[in-house]
Amino acid sequence: MRTLIIAPNWIGDAVMAQPLLKLLRAAKPDQHIVALAPAWVAPVLHAMPEIDRVFATQLAHGKLQWRARRDFASALRREHFTHAFVLPNSLKSALIPWLAGIPKRIGYQGEMRWGLLNHRLAPPDPAMPMARRYLALAGELGIKLPATLQIPRLQVSADDMFAVREQFGLETGTPLFALCPGAEFGPAKRWPSAHYAQLANLLLEQHPTARILLLGGPGDAAIAEQIRTQTRHPEQLLQLAGQTTLAQAIALLATVDAVVSNDSGLMHVAAALQKPQAAIFGSSDPRHTPPLSSKAEILWLHTQCSPCFARTCPLGHLRCLNDLTPASVATAVGLALAGASHAPGAL
């Protein structure tokens, strides 16, 4: 059996697909599993031991790029895949396995994919947790779906952790926190920067020798710098948003003591690294995309208007995030560090 996984386009979704990969691997341990993923997601898949090989593509999000897909498909023909799991719902994501002539092409019906997929599942219940949604695809091979999910686990080598610590001048022996203030989806998922700055002050009061890393993509750099300069001890914060590759950010998260993030890709990465974490939810729903970790504290005010799943607050007040206090997040960090968190919910 040779399996091609067309990976999701979002970092968090890729992490939530790992229980499916674990199930496929356990069902047939000697199969060859290859993931095809956009370059910006590929480092997450590289950290999954269930995957034998990752092909990183330069295919742009939302673009057809017919010629590039056709060329990729003809290269994949030589790999003689027997199965393809198409995890995104778009029509274009199903093109490559179809063009490559892979006999079994499995996925949700999605966007008019009648001919492209020959094993199609009806659209799932929108309330179904994302990880379960991916896992259900294995049922098309007759694999029994487990009652309890095997949670994601990313692997980072000790060498890689040592290398990033060296590279960014982080001494061992001092408490290290990571704040991830971005959320690519939109501002309705971003806790205010003034709150992050206040949280940093509280963490530094409790851990006076700590260093705090600000992690994220290039689009988060301005917010991260704002947070750094708003704190009482900016010299103890290291602004690294936009300054690292994703592989470096994963290795840095693997080395820290605790992580605070919005509902974002890095939240799922931190969960899969089993880091004590505080995960902040605004317009989204932690029952749908929770951090899959027993070390996560979820902070969700669940205001009357939530979840609205909007990118920007339609009511203009963003109370779901503005009303969440830095003190409550600092308390959650303390609980997560003390190992007092609960098991992953809704699964």
Residue ranges in 183-212 that form contacts with ligand SF4 under rule CB under 6 A: 188
| Identified binder of ligand SF4 from the candidate list 255, 261, 262, 283, rule CB under 6 A | 283
Angle, alpha carbons 264-265-266 (nearest 5°): 90
Part of the chain binding ligand SF4 (CB under 6 A), chosen from 12-20, 176-184, 246-254, 300-308: 300-308
Q: Is 282 in the site for ligand SF4 (CB under 6 A)?
A: yes
* x-marked contacts with ligand SF4 along 140-179 as a string, rule CB under 6 A: ----------------------------------------
Can you tell me the distance from the alpha carbon of 294 to that of 76, in angstroms, rounded to the nearest whole number? 39
Q: For ligand SF4, which is the closer residue by CB, 317 or 342?
A: 317
DSSP for 44-101, written as a single string: HHHT-TT-SEEEEE-PPTT---HHHHHHHHHHHHTT--SEEEE-S-STGGGHHHHHTT
> In the complex, what is the shortest distance from the CB of residue 320 to ligand SF4, in angstroms, rounded to a whole number?
3
Residue ranges in 305-324 that form contacts with ligand SF4 under rule CB under 6 A: 305-306, 308, 310, 313-315, 317-320
> In the complex, what is the shortest distance from the CB of residue 183 to ligand SF4, in angstroms, rounded to a whole number?
12
Please enumerate, as own/partner, the contacts of 229-234 that have beta carbons within 8 Å and a separation of 24 or more: 230/193, 230/194, 230/197, 231/197, 231/200, 231/201, 231/204, 232/201, 232/204, 233/200, 233/201, 233/204
Q: For ligand SF4, which is the closer residue by CB, 145 or 305?
A: 305
DSSP for 112-172, written as a single string: T-TTT-SEEEPPPPTTS-HHHHHHGGGGGGTPPPPSSPPPP-----HHHHHHHHHHTTPPT
Q: For ligand SF4, which is the closer residue by CB, 101 or 314?
A: 314
> In the complex, what is the shortest distance from the CB of residue 96 to ligand SF4, in angstroms, rounded to a whole number?
36
> In the complex, what is the shortest distance from the CB of residue 311 to ligand SF4, in angstroms, rounded to a whole number?
9
Give the residues lining the site for ligand SF4 (CB under 6 A).
Answer: 188, 282-283, 303, 305-306, 308, 310, 313-315, 317-320
